[in-house]
A = this chain, B = another copy of it.
Amino acid sequence: MVRTHLNRERIAQAALDFIDEHGSVSLSMRKLGTYLGVEAMAIYRHVEGREALLDCVLQRLMSGVVDGLDEALGQSWQGYLQDIAHRIRDVAIRHPKAFPLVVTQHPAAPWIRPPIRDLDLIEHLLRTLREYGLPDDMVVDVYQSFSSFLMGHLLLEAMHAGADPTAPATAIREEEAPAPAPFGRINLDTHPTVQELSGLLQRNTSEEQFEIGLEAMIDRIEANLRS
Q: Does A32 contact B (CB under 8 A)?
A: no
Contact B148 A113 (CB under 8 A): no
Of the listed stretches A10-18, A74-82, A190-198, name the one at the interface; the rest are far from the partner chain: A190-198
A125 to chain B, nearest CB (A): 9
Contact B220 A216 (CB under 8 A): yes
Inter-chain CA distance A213–B216, complex, in Å, is 11
> Contacts A119-B191, A123-B191, A167-B110 given: A148-B156 contact, CB under 8 Å?
yes
Interface residues in A, total, Cβ within 8 A: 62
> Contacts A122-B191, A153-B148 given: A140-B201 contact, CB under 8 Å?
yes
Inter-chain CA distance A57–B166, complex, in Å, is 25
Q: Does A63 contact B (CB under 8 A)?
A: no
Q: Does A180 contact B (CB under 8 A)?
A: no
Inter-chain CA distance A126–B138, complex, in Å, is 36
Inter-chain CA distance A168–B87, complex, in Å, is 32
Of the listed stretches A1-9, A39-47, A64-72, A99-107, name the one at the interface; the rest are far from the partner chain: A99-107
Inter-chain CA distance A5–B17, complex, in Å, is 47
Q: Does A172 contact B (CB under 8 A)?
A: yes
Chain B residue with the shortest CB-CB distance to A149: B152
Inter-chain CA distance A201–B190, complex, in Å, is 46
Q: Does A132 contact B (CB under 8 A)?
A: no
A136 / chain B contacts, CB cutoff of 8 Å: 197, 200
Q: Does A59 contact B (CB under 8 A)?
A: no
Contact B105 A197 (CB under 8 A): no
Residue ranges of A at the interface with B (Cβ–Cβ < 8 Å)? 100, 103, 105, 107-111, 113-114, 119-120, 122-123, 126-127, 130, 136-137, 139-141, 143-145, 147-153, 155-156, 159-160, 163-164, 167-170, 172, 183-184, 186-187, 190-194, 197, 200-203, 205, 209, 213, 216, 220
| 22 sampled A-B residue pairs with Cβ under 8 A | A107-B167, A108-B168, A108-B170, A108-B184, A110-B160, A114-B156, A119-B187, A123-B191, A126-B194, A136-B200, A137-B200, A139-B197, A139-B200, A140-B201, A140-B203, A144-B205, A145-B209, A148-B209, A149-B152, A150-B152, A152-B152, A152-B155
